[in-house]
Structure 1
Amino acid sequence: MGHEELLARHRAVMPDWMALYYEQPIELASASGRRVTDREGRTYLDFFAGILTNAVGYDVAEISDAIRSQLATGVLHSSTLYLIRSQVELAEKIAELSGIPDAKVFFTNSGTEANETALMLATQFRRSDQVLALRNSYHGRAFATVAITGNRGWSASSLSPVKVSWVHGGYRFRSPFKDLSDADYVKACVADLREVIETTTAGDVACMIAEPIQGVGGFSSPPDGLFGAFKEVLDEYGILFVSDEVQTGWGRTGEHFWGIQSHGVTPDAMTFAKGLGNGLAIGGVVARGDLMDCLTANSLSTFGGNPIATTGALATLNYLLDHDLQANAAKLGERLVDGLRDIAADRPAVGDVRGKGLMIGIEMVGPDGAPDAARAVAVLEGTRERGLLVGKGGLYGNVIRLAPPMSLTEDEVEEALGILEDVL
């Protein structure tokens, strides 16, 4: 069956609002390393990794062998009503890596579910339904996470179980504070935060939730130190701080294992997902013990932390650490950004190249500097035609997103730069 026939069947039974890439969508049939092959036999260098999820790459023996060993036991599932050894071992490792004092971990099936859990914990702990979120943010597709998503293109409903107040800071390129120095930008955003608390809330806010680098928002980020400065204000009011590490965790930003560490602050909780499973469905929350234990009703997760997912995730995490993929992300990310900025120097259609590690955004603009989504689509299609898969996002749909597996090689960076130079 070719792509055209499968697309027709897809459209007949799948929702219209479930997006597909490309004018002629493709089905991925096999993969190895950093390359995927579609059902019609075309092979591509993958620079989006299943939306940052295949963090290590494809067909990694150490991870596949671990999953097969669990499958061989016959125990694919048991629920959290029973002890799960791989779940406990994974939680121990994440709690230690988090840097959060007396940390405890709860596993879910996705980043959306992780953020829903974090909101439930924070609102219960603080006995408040007020939440601070950043403009241009994205935190998931469920009821509460849509409510705290500050991006109209991904906000499907105005209904909300929480009262949200919006602050500046995450998307600098089109911010009213864009032309300020780093230090003055931070001061302006901190002043905005304080004013938002004083004028739009009752003061007893449950939490602020923020992505250190906004993922769907186009891999945009504030100057280092902003969230540290925010935390000082939040502490004055007793407001909890939740770092959404769904896209920035596991060393992808290169300089740190968690994105929030660039800001010199330890959050009260962090949410995670995507890269931890290297393709398996897993997410979770790591939080202070008193925060995690604040629920007074019974709860569990039928599938969260299941033996297959946690066995694969533990193998993925061990592989990331044993092979120091964080250092590889830092080294090759720097080369990728430098190469893209060289390419962009004489291409006015590229308004901005930004990012950290292997999490890089290319913002496409028109002659007047306005967002140009059509050019981003042209880049998306042009790279696919030349054998490179990239992502797309941003508030205006005009940002190309690059997030290859962290096991990327130098030769593959140069290959991708050559394709991007041709297309741009």
Structure 2
Amino acid sequence: MGHEELLARHRAVMPDWIALYYDQPIELASASGRRVTDREGRTYLDFFAGILTNAIGYDVAEISDAIRSQLDTGVLHSSTLYLIRSQVELAEKIAELSGIPDAKVFFTNSGTEANETALMLATQFRRSDQVLALRNSYHGRAFATVAITGNRGWSASSLSPVKVSFVQGGYRYRSPFKDLSDADYVKACVADLREVIETTTAGDVACMIAEPIQGVGGFSSPPDGMFGAFKEVLDEYGILFISDEVQTGWGRTGEHFWGIQAHGVTPDAMTFAKGLGNGLAIGGVVARGDLMDCITANSLSTFGGNPIATTGALATLNYLLDHDLQANAAKLGARLVDGLREIAANRPAVGDVRGKGLMIGVELVGADGAPDPAKAVAVLEGARERGLLVGKGGLYGNVIRIAPPMTLTEDEVEEALGILKDVL
């Protein structure tokens, strides 16, 4: 069965609001390393990795063998009503890596569910339903996470279980403060934060939640240190700070293991997902023990942290650490950014090249500097035609998102740069 027939069946039974890439969507049938092959036999270099989720790449023996060993036990599932050894071992490792004092971990099935859990913890701990979030943010597709998503294109409903106020800071390229120096930009955003607290809230805000680098928002980020300055204001009011590390965790930014570490601050909680499972469904929250334990009702998770997911995640995390993929992300990410900026130097359609490590955004603009989503679509399609898969996002849908597996090689970087130069 080819792509055309499968697409017709997809449209008959799947929701209309599920996004599909490309004028002629493709099915991925097999994969190895950093390359995927579609059902019709075409092979591509994958520079989006299932939305940053296949962080180690494809068909990694150490990870596959660990999953098979768990399958061989026959225990695919037990629920959290029973002890799960791999869950405890993974939680111990994440708690230590988090840097959060007396940390505890709760596992979920996705980043959306992780952020919902973090909001429940913060609102219960602070006895408040008020939340601060950043403009241009994305935190998930569930009821509360849609409410704290500061991007109209991903906000399915105006209804909300929390009261949200949005602040400036995450998307610098089109910010009203964009022409300021780093230091003055931070000062302006801090002043905006304080004004938002004092004018749009009752003061007793539960938390601020923020992505260190905005993912769906086009891999945009503030100057280093901004969230540290934010935290000083939040501490004055007793407001908790949650770092959404769903896309920035596990060393992908290169310079740090967690994205928030670029800001010199330890959050009260972090949420994670995506790359931890290298394709398996797993997410979670790591938080201060007193914050995590503030729930007094009975609770459990049927599927969160199940034996298969935590076994695979533990193997993924060990592989990532043993092979120092954070250093690889730093080295090859720098080459990608430099190469893309060289390409952009004489191409006015490229308004901005930004990012850290293997999280890079290329913002496409018209002659007047306005967002040009049609150009982004053309680049997305042109790259696929030449054998390269990339992502697309941004507030206006005009940003190419580049986030290959962290096992990327130098030759693959040069191959991708050649394709992108040709396309652009």
Q: Give the deviation of 1:253 after TM superposition.
A: 0.1
Deviations 1:302-338 (A, max 9, x none): 0000000000000000000000000000000000000
Rounded to whole Å, the distance in 1 between the matches of 2:19 and 2:269 is 31
Deviations 1:144-177 (A, max 9, x none): 0000000000000000000000100000000000
Q: Give the deviation of 1:221 after TM superposition.
A: 0.1
Partner of 1:363, secondary structure, is: strand
Rounded to whole Å, the distance in 1 between the matches of 2:385 and 2:300 is 46
Q: Give the deviation of 1:393 after TM superposition.
A: 0.1
Task: Give 1:79's aligned residue.
Answer: 79
Task: Give 2:412's aligned residue.
Answer: 412
Rounded to whole Å, the distance in 2 between the matches of 1:355 and 1:246 is 16
Task: Give 1:403's aligned residue.
Answer: 403
Q: Give the deviation of 1:73 after TM superposition.
A: 0.1
Rounded to whole Å, the distance in 2 between the matches of 1:301 and 1:234 is 31
Deviations 1:78-136 (A, max 9, x none): 00000000000000000000000000000000000000000000000000000000000
Deviations 1:374-414 (A, max 9, x none): 00000000000000000000000000000000000000000
Deviations 1:245-284 (A, max 9, x none): 0000000000000000000000000000000000000000
Partner of 2:370, secondary structure, is: coil
Q: Give the deviation of 1:5 after TM superposition.
A: 0.2
Partner of 1:178, secondary structure, is: coil
Deviations 1:29-85 (A, max 9, x none): 000000000000000000000000000000000000000000000000000000000
Task: Give 2:268's aligned residue.
Answer: 268
Q: Give the deviation of 1:372 after TM superposition.
A: 0.1
Q: Give the deviation of 1:230 after TM superposition.
A: 0.1
What aligned pairs does 1:196-235 form with structure 2 within 5 A after superposition? 196-235=196-235
Partner of 1:171, secondary structure, is: coil
Partner of 1:284, secondary structure, is: strand
Partner of 1:260, secondary structure, is: helix
Rounded to whole Å, the distance in 1 between the matches of 2:166 and 2:8 is 41
Deviations 1:212-254 (A, max 9, x none): 0000000000000000000000000000000000000000000
Rounded to whole Å, the distance in 2 between the matches of 1:363 and 1:34 is 24
Q: Give the deviation of 1:287 after TM superposition.
A: 0.0
Partner of 1:375, secondary structure, is: helix
Partner of 1:367, secondary structure, is: coil
Rounded to whole Å, the distance in 1 between the matches of 2:403 and 2:146 is 24
Rounded to whole Å, the distance in 1 between the matches of 2:252 and 2:278 is 13
Rounded to whole Å, the distance in 2 between the matches of 1:260 and 1:298 is 32
What root-mean-square deviation, in Å, do the aligned CA atoms of Structure 1 and Structure 2 show? Answer: 0.2
Partner of 2:170, secondary structure, is: coil
Rounded to whole Å, the distance in 2 between the matches of 1:208 and 1:396 is 24
Q: Give the deviation of 1:19 after TM superposition.
A: 0.4
Rounded to whole Å, the distance in 2 between the matches of 1:86 and 1:15 is 35
Structure 2 runs not aligned, ≥5 long: none
Structure 1 runs not aligned, ≥5 long: none
Task: Give 2:383's aligned residue.
Answer: 383
Task: Give 2:53's aligned residue.
Answer: 53
Rounded to whole Å, the distance in 1 between the matches of 2:25 and 2:293 is 45
Q: Give the deviation of 1:347 after TM superposition.
A: 0.1
Q: Give the deviation of 1:139 after TM superposition.
A: 0.1
Task: Give 1:14's aligned residue.
Answer: 14
Partner of 2:174, secondary structure, is: coil
Q: Give the deviation of 1:205 after TM superposition.
A: 0.1
Task: Give 2:351's aligned residue.
Answer: 351
Rounded to whole Å, the distance in 2 between the matches of 1:208 and 1:114 is 15
Task: Give 1:296's aligned residue.
Answer: 296
Q: What TM-score do the two structures reach when normalised by structure 1?
A: 1.00
Q: Give the deviation of 1:343 after TM superposition.
A: 0.2
Q: Give the deviation of 1:209 after TM superposition.
A: 0.1
Q: Give the deviation of 1:298 after TM superposition.
A: 0.5
Task: Give 1:138's aligned residue.
Answer: 138
Rounded to whole Å, the distance in 2 between the matches of 1:299 and 1:48 is 35
Task: Give 2:188's aligned residue.
Answer: 188
Partner of 1:281, secondary structure, is: coil
Rounded to whole Å, the distance in 2 between the matches of 1:282 and 1:14 is 23
Partner of 1:392, secondary structure, is: strand
Partner of 2:153, secondary structure, is: helix
Partner of 1:353, secondary structure, is: strand
Partner of 2:30, secondary structure, is: strand
Rounded to whole Å, the distance in 1 between the matches of 2:364 and 2:10 is 30
Rounded to whole Å, the distance in 2 between the matches of 1:305 and 1:160 is 28
Rounded to whole Å, the distance in 2 between the matches of 1:9 and 1:164 is 39
Partner of 2:82, secondary structure, is: coil
